[in-house]
Structure 1
Amino acid sequence: FSHSAFTFGIESHISQSNINGTLVPPAALISILQKGLQYVEAEISINEDGTVFDGRPIESLSLIDAVMPDVVQTRQQAFREKLAQQQAAAAAAAAAAAAAAAAATTAAPAAVSQQNPPKNGEATVNGEENGAHAINNHSKPMEIDGDVEIPPSKATVLRGHESEVFICAWNPVSDLLASGSGDSTARIWNLNENSNGGSTQLVLRHCIREGGHDVPSNKDVTSLDWNSDGTLLATGSYDGFARIWTEDGNLASTLGQHKGPIFALKWNKKGNYILSAGVDKTTIIWDAHTGEAKQQFPFHSERSCPLMETCVYYSQAFISFLFFFFKPLTLLQNEVNAIKWDPSGMLLASCSDDMTLKIWSMKQDTCVHDLQAHSKEIYTIKWSPTGPATSNPNSSIMLASASFDSTVRLWDVERGVCIHTLTKHQEPVYSVAFSPDGKYLASGSFDKCVHIWNTQSGSLVHSYRGTGGIFEVCWNARGDKVGASASDGSVCVLDLRK
């Protein structure tokens, strides 16, 4: 990475540039590259006469493929052949329809008001399709239930961070919201109504020891997690240290055994162990009381770190390791962005840059469902807090997927079908979160919007536009407030009470 950055800087003469780097938004280069790929893909999909191939590409272009003339020409030819097949099929369907209409005119009219059932592959009202894994490329925008805009009086904007706020998480027992930022601090915001009006903040400065003194690490806070009773907050940092803080902002322990940045950490359900994962290809289980590293798992693949982001199922951490690493899952062809256990701990969902969402069972090596509907990378996934082993056992379990194609999809896990496609966002969606009762879903996108959806109808019920791209959304324990962290250093809290 250092060599690549040096080469890029030298060849681009960046030192001679008068561009103010502070004005360049996060992920600007990635956004430009994505738009370039979109342009090439669009160019491939359009025929010489202006007609457009109506279908999902077999696979997305890579950066290398996009600049290879032979690859582009091959894709264009394949699309043109498929377009010809589409046109032939459409002509045949039109002829059949004309014949059927002619036959209908000679028959007595009967039951003309009867609703025709959807044909195989056609979307129903909810966007569900008869084909188990069919793809709906013509999802209609969700209906808006009246005025959904959240008024300023119901939105609290918290400012104090001096850089992007990557993560946020509510305390599970009180209205304390923790946030982690690129300014090398985490903050605990007190949003309890009895806190003398307004919100107060505790600044958790991440420091390292140098020359016998504590100095700011100047590294991003990359992850954070509250223990189950809300008394301790664990944070992971790009400086390679995990830290444990009390709810009143005091540093309780510093955990230092990783040899590189930490990108994920989780408490177990009992609150006596913490699991951390780093780019040093190791995962460590820590004793939360003593700060001792109890066990360290070395992995030999550079892809271990992304996979470890969410692989802990509370007290069943060891099951996760045994299943995922000692019983390797197959068919993971591209970069895996997230994995999540369902509430029962029996199913594991994974999402990838190959635009697929896979569901795995503890009982077999191959995936239970291979769900393909998104047209770009799937960045994250979340299970609903419903079904067996939850406080909402009478509601069916769902899975939400958020993608760089600007959509969120809700999946019926048992049948392996998409039940809703949520299409109001205009930029990549980085975060989704279910309300505690599973009736609502919050989504946050780099279009600066937080949307709240009804999971049963798929309708948009609340919407808020902030001042920065949204990295993370989360619900408080009562389900009446949503927190969101943003790229401009702000944290917003949306009060959904009427």
Structure 2
Amino acid sequence: MEYETSNNTHHPHYPGNPTPNFLSVHRVTVLCGHESEVFICVWNPTHDLLASGSGDSTARIWNLQGTRKPEIVLRHIVFKDVTSSDWNARNFILSAGVDRTTIIWDANSGHCKQQFLFHTAPALDIDWQLDTIFASCSDDMTLNIWNMSTETPVHNLQAHNEETKKWDAQRDVCQNILVQHSEPVYSDRLLVTDSFDKAINIWGIARGQIVHGYRGTRVGASASDGT
């Protein structure tokens, strides 16, 4: 799930690196600490920090600035896979996974700031939109938009017959969204969901309603590159 906003802010592949696909050989390292498979790694958008999520029920924050500090361990209460994570610009980090729980952590202290348990099946992906608003999608066939100031979703979007896999904020040109683009087109007005039910739905965020719908003829759509 990817969500980009109209200010063209996005997470770089590597902080401060003008060439996202290049990493100096002097920076290559192995980070050890997880006790099970690692499902996701995400760079902090402004600092030399890396977050990872694992089957050991933890997310971990790795400090790669200068002298290495011990990683901060963010442990979910239920011992299940942590499969998704994302940073915001205020140094809060989201983590979610098979325990159906989405947690906001303070990356400086490692303390749990807020916990959201609304999905009825594993959370597949999470993304910040703004510093206080984020979205989560789940095997329960829903996509929720949350505000940190509330305990229940601002919007609960349900339209797919199978699980919602990915979503992207896009502009309102349906044919270009579905056919032409190979990179994200930034907007904070709309988002796109796709699913194994063969449908792609474009939603208006303000009202939580479908603006455009497209149904294919193949097995399904399970990922998105911004198209």
Query: 1:255 aligned to 2:119?
Result: no
Give 1:244 deviation, angstroms. 0.4
Q: Residue 173 of structure 2 corresponds to which residue in structure 1?
A: none
CA contact (8 A) 1:221 1:238 kept: yes
Structure 2 CA distance for aligned equivalents of residues 289 and 223 of structure 1:
22
Q: Residue 388 of structure 1 corresponds to which residue in structure 2?
A: none
Q: Residue 305 of structure 1 corresponds to which residue in structure 2?
A: 164
Query: 1:323 is aligned with what amino acid?
Result: I
CA contact (8 A) 1:171 1:230 kept: no
Q: 1:285 to 1:157 in 2, by over 3 A?
A: same
Give 1:239 deviation, angstroms. 0.6
Deviations 1:351-393 (A, max 9, x none): xxxxxxxxxxxxxxxxxxxxxxxxxxxxxxxxxxxxxxxxxxx
Task: Considering fraction of residues, name the structure with more helix.
Answer: 1
Query: 2:48 is aligned with what amino acid?
Result: D
Query: 1:333 is aligned with what amino acid?
Result: R
What SS does structure 1 have at the residue aligned with 2:164? helix
Give 1:284 deviation, angstroms. 0.9
What SS does structure 2 have at the residue aligned with 1:264? strand
Structure 1 CA distance for aligned equivalents of residues 59 and 202 of structure 2:
33
Give 1:261 deviation, angstroms. 0.2
Query: 1:281 aligned to 2:138?
Result: no
Of residues 244, 265, 276 in structure 1, which corresponds to 2:126? Answer: 265
Of residues 217, 221, 224 in structure 2, which corresponds to 1:336? Answer: 221
Q: Residue 59 of structure 2 corresponds to which residue in structure 1?
A: 186
Q: 1:241 to 1:317 in 2, by over 3 A?
A: farther
Query: 1:240 aligned to 2:100?
Result: yes
RMSD: 2.5
Q: 1:336 to 1:251 in 2, by over 3 A?
A: same
What SS does structure 2 have at the residue aligned with 1:293? coil
Q: Residue 59 of structure 1 corresponds to which residue in structure 2?
A: none
Unaligned 5+ residue runs, structure 2?
1-21, 171-185, 194-200, 204-209
Of residues 316, 325, 334 in structure 1, which corresponds to 2:188? Answer: 316
What SS does structure 1 have at the residue aligned with 2:79? coil
Of residues 72, 76, 95 in structure 2, which corresponds to 1:202? Answer: 72
Q: 1:176 to 1:332 in 2, by over 3 A?
A: farther
Query: 2:150 is aligned with what amino acid?
Result: T
TM-score, L = length of structure 2:
0.70
Structure 2 CA distance for aligned equivalents of residues 167 and 317 of structure 1:
27
Unaligned 5+ residue runs, structure 1?
1-147, 208-216, 342-348, 350-498
Q: 1:332 to 1:231 in 2, by over 3 A?
A: farther
After TM superposition, which residue ranges in structure 1, 4 or more long, deviate above 6 angstroms? none
Q: Residue 483 of structure 1 corresponds to which residue in structure 2?
A: none
What SS does structure 1 have at the residue aligned with 2:30? strand
Query: 1:160 aligned to 2:33?
Result: yes
Q: Radius of gyration: which is bigger? A: 1
Deviations 1:102-123 (A, max 9, x none): xxxxxxxxxxxxxxxxxxxxxx
Give 1:319 deviation, angstroms. 4.6
Q: Percent identity?
A: 35
CA contact (8 A) 2:90 2:131 kept: no
Give 1:323 deviation, angstroms. 2.1
Structure 1 CA distance for aligned equivalents of residues 189 and 98 of structure 2:
23
Give 1:283 deviation, angstroms. 1.1
Aligned pair count? 177
Query: 2:168 is aligned with what amino acid?
Result: C
Task: Considering fraction of residues, name the structure with more strand.
Answer: 2
Structure 2 CA distance for aligned equivalents of residues 295 and 191 of structure 1:
37
CA contact (8 A) 2:118 2:152 kept: no
Query: 1:290 aligned to 2:150?
Result: yes
Q: 1:319 to 1:333 in 2, by over 3 A?
A: same
Give 1:250 deviation, angstroms. 1.1
Superposition pairs of residues 413-428 of structure 1, within 5 angstroms: none
